[in-house]
Amino acid sequence: MIRFDHVWKRYPNGREALCDLSLDVERGEMAFLTGHSGAGKSTLLKLIALIERPTRGTLVVNGQNTATVTRSKIPAFRRQIGVVFQDHKLLMDRPVYDNVGLPLVIAGVPEKEIDKRVRASLDQVGLLGRERNRPIELSTGEQQRVGIARAIIGKPALLIADEPTGNLDPDLAVEIMNIFKRFNEVGVTVLIASHDIHLIERYGVRRVIIEGGRAVGAADEAPPPLPSIVTA
């Protein structure tokens, strides 16, 4: 699903965020990216969403070499990936309904269909009935769930998340992670960057440690299988 092949990323200011990073994430897999802040986790996710481009090396996402995705094809490319951000990136002056439905509006889906799928999406993150609220009226955890609902409404095969539990207290964090886990169980490839080791350890999935811009020891010495949904 995702294949980094000797990828380097140097920012215009000279900072080398990734050096010679190689990583494979299989279709249907769920994996955590861990490592110190500034290790390159965010950069890695930005490359997948084509927010940034690799300086060297090849990156293949969902069978597409990202080097062949030209500027004009980026929107269509992004529509096949669900992205969840630490700061949610919601439209604060628009109701939840508009926020969640936005990817479908962009894709030109009929209004009736949007209505149905917004409800379905909100239902999956446990926010059904909050369509008319503005994000500002919701708690941080709820806002994050709106972000997840938006990410999954397009039924993407790949879901990436950058520190989705960064600002949440432990109970809420587990709740959010469980939502991701549920999507993985229905076949969605999930890649989550998180530095919350304790939380990650509770899920029996692969952990990729990023250090100094490289993937060091894909620490997937699989821990004993746990119940797939962890309760706080």
Number of neighbours of residue 124 by Cβ within 10 angstroms: 18
Q: What are the angstrom distances between the C-alpha of 43 and each of 24, 46, 122, 212? A: 16, 5, 29, 12
Based on the shown chain and the rule CB under 8 A, indicate whether residue 75 belongs to the binding site for another protein: yes
What is the C-alpha separation between 113 and 207, in angstroms, rounded? 37
From 89, 129, 140, 169, residue interacting with another protein (rule: CB under 8 A): 89
Based on the shown chain and the rule CB under 8 A, indicate whether residue 232 belongs to the binding site for another protein: no
Segment near another protein (CB under 8 A), from 3-11, 108-116, 124-132, 213-221? 108-116
Segment near another protein (CB under 8 A), from 16-24, 78-86, 121-129, 199-207? 78-86
Site residue total, another protein (CB under 8 A)? 22
- Cα torsion angle, 12, 18, 22, 24, sign: negative
Q: Scanning residues 12 to 51, which ones bind another protein (CB under 8 A)?
A: 49, 51
**Complex with another protein: residue 162 or 175, whichever CB lies closer:** 162
Q: Check: CB of residue 63 under 8 Å from CB of residue 2.
A: no
Segment near another protein (CB under 8 A), from 100-108, 118-126, 162-170, 174-182? 100-108
Q: Which amino acid is at 37?
A: S
Residues with Cβ < 8 Å from 118, sequence gap 6 or more? Answer: 97, 100, 101, 104, 131, 149, 153
**Complex with another protein: residue 74 or 120, whichever CB lies closer:** 74
Based on the shown chain and the rule CB under 8 A, indicate whether residue 103 belongs to the binding site for another protein: yes
Least CB distance from residue 26 to another protein, whole Å?
24
Q: Check: CB of residue 34 under 8 Å from CB of residue 194.
A: yes
From 67, 76, 197, 232, residue interacting with another protein (rule: CB under 8 A): 76
Q: Which residue has the tokens 């994050």?
A: 144
Least CB distance from residue 49 to another protein, whole Å?
7
Mode of pairing for the β-strands spanning 56-61 and 30-34? unpaired
Based on the shown chain and the rule CB under 8 A, indicate whether residue 145 belongs to the binding site for another protein: no
Question: Which residues make up the interface to another protein (CB under 8 A)?
Answer: 49, 51, 72, 75-79, 83, 89-91, 102-103, 105-108, 110-111, 150, 154
